[in-house]
Each structure stands twice: as structure tokens, then as C-alpha cells.
Amino acid sequence: MKTHLESITEELSKIRGVRLIMLGGSRATGKMDNKSDIDLYVYTDEPIPLSLREEILAKHFDYLELANSFWEEEDDGILTDGIELEIIYRKTSFIDEVYEAAYVHPRANFGYSTCMIHNLQTSLILFDDATSIQELRGKYKGYPEELREAILKKNGLLISNRMPSLSFQLTKAIRRKDLISIQHRTTEYLAMYFDVLFAANRRFHPGEKRLLEAMDTFESMPTNAKQDIGRLLKVNTMPVDEAVSLVDVISKEMNAFIAREVRDFVVCDYFKHKA
């Protein structure tokens, strides 16, 4: 008997314009647990009519939400066996765009720079109607050095190397005892911090989950990185002076780390002049 995933994949693959279906997330990388959902990525030349999606999916779900578009176009629900399934719809052209942004014209973001290329590289192909995915996977291997340097420099500047940097904003929030601002700035800070770590170790970023575990696999990190990040996660509970000192130490260690990893990374003088 076919599983829900097998049946849904087979039915979707018969639709004109569906070019590629892949299984992503922890079920593709082998890191699933009993809380893991199913992430199914469907690449199409043209949108699948909503009525057709509902016709195919309704019989497989106890609960179904169609056309959620908070981040990407997707259908979400709970299968009749109790497993949650997300179906994300993308244009076929998205594949070439992501590879180009990584390898041809490297483009860094503020945090999570390589999540999309990680998704394309690690997802399991369930159906492929002559797309470029296999060719691109074969053509582009290894970590692009130009992208690595771009990520380290771009994120390094905003972690703690310009006046608007997150470390300085976080320090101000701590001194004001503004708990919500502290939480917000810490989250942003960590997003960029981990973007640097993955790039420095020539690893594509897998997303926001299990990041502390990932640190155990890195060969290159700032001094005391995992210990300090563990403490930073509790920054809201610390005395003000201790919290400010911790952010200062982590940020200076990151600046020193990036300066060792890439050329032409110069630390600004704001540290010397700020009160």
C-alpha cells in the first residue's frame, strides 16, 4: 500500500507543468525525530490551480490549509496518519536563480545566506521531468570561496563593526533593561553569528534548528564560542554589567576570528570612542 507521500507525489507529478518534486528538511538529511513534519517541494512552470490542489490533497488530510503565503506559497495540513505535511510551491526558474546567487554572482544576506542552496543540494528527488537540478548539482560542488568571503564580511560588519551594529544595539537594550528589545536584538545577532560560522567552515546553512549541535562539528570558531553563546542565550537573566561584558567579549572574539579568516577585514575604531 502506498504512503500518503507516495500517492500525493504521484498525483502531483501527473499535472502538466510540474517539473520537479523533492523531499526536504530533516527527513531528507536523516535528522528526523518524532516531532518532524514532512517538507515537500513542488517546482512548476506555471501555478497549479487551487481547485486541483484541493481535489488531490483533501482525501489525504484530516486538516488542511490551502494557499498559505506568509513566506512562500504552500499548502499545510495534518495527514490522516497524524503527520504534518507542508507542500511548498516554487517556480522551476527558482532552481537556476539560487545556484546563480551562490556560485555565479555570489550574494550574501544578513543571516541565513545559504539556506536555499542547502535545501536544493540536500533534498531528495522524488520526481524530475528534465529540470536542471541534476546538472547543477554535478557542476557546482564544494563551497564557493567568493561567497564565503562575502558572508563573513557582510555579516561581520553588522555583528559588531559599525555604529549601527547589533552588538551595540543589544548593549543599549541591556542597559535600558528593555527585555523585548534584548530578545529581538539577540535573535538577530545570533542569526548573523551563525551565518558566519557556517560560511567560515564551508558549510551551507541548514536553517534555524539544531544550531548548537552543529557547533560540535565545526573545525573553526571564535575562542570559547559555544560556551559564550550558551551564556548569551541567558542574557536576560544576568546582571547588567555581566551581560554587557559578555556581548563585548563575544563581539571582539568574532571580529578577531573574521580578521583571521578573510583579507581586508578591518575593525572600526568605534570601540575606542564609544562611552
What is the per-residue pLDDT across 73-128, written as a single tens digit (0 to 9) for each?
999 999 999 999 999 999 999 999 999 999 999 999 999 999 999 999 999 999 99
Q: Is the pLDDT of residue 154 over 70?
A: yes
The reported pLDDT for the residue numbered 273 is: 60
Confidence of residue 39 (pLDDT cuts 50, 70, 90): very high
Closest CA to 186 of 262, 247, 124: 247
Region 154-173: mean pLDDT is 87
The reported pLDDT for the residue numbered 246 is: 96
The reported pLDDT for the residue numbered 243 is: 96
The reported pLDDT for the residue numbered 239 is: 96
**How close are the terminal C-alpha atoms of the chain, in Å?**
69
Distance of CA 179 to the CA centre of its chain: 25
The reported pLDDT for the residue numbered 221 is: 96
Region 12-31: mean pLDDT is 89
Distance CA 58, CA 232 (A): 45
Distance CA 174, CA 182 (A): 6
What's the number of CA atoms in the CB half-sphere (13 Å) around residue 37?
A: 11
Angle (deg, nearest 10), helices 179-200 and 240-261: 20
Closest CA to 200 of 108, 96, 275, 126: 108
Q: Is the pLDDT of residue 135 over 80?
A: yes
Confidence of residue 270 (pLDDT cuts 50, 70, 90): low
Tell how strand 18-24 and strand 38-44 pair up.
antiparallel
Q: Is the pLDDT of residue 275 over 60?
A: no
The reported pLDDT for the residue numbered 30 is: 73
Distance CA 143, CA 129 (A): 27
Helix (H, G, I), strand (E, B) or coil at 44: strand
State the Rg of the chain over Cα. Answer: 22
Query: Cell 541591556, residue?
Result: 174
Closest CA to 128 of 3, 222, 22, 212: 22
Closest CA to 59 of 1, 8, 6, 126: 8
Confidence of residue 25 (pLDDT cuts 50, 70, 90): confident
The reported pLDDT for the residue numbered 274 is: 61
The reported pLDDT for the residue numbered 130 is: 83
Distance CA 226, CA 220 (A): 12
Closest CA to 194 of 151, 243, 164: 151
Tell how strand 38-44 and strand 84-91 pair up.
parallel
Q: Is the pLDDT of residue 261 over 80?
A: yes
Q: Is the pLDDT of residue 244 over 90?
A: yes
The reported pLDDT for the residue numbered 37 is: 85
Note if the pTM is more than 0.85: yes
The reported pLDDT for the residue numbered 31 is: 72
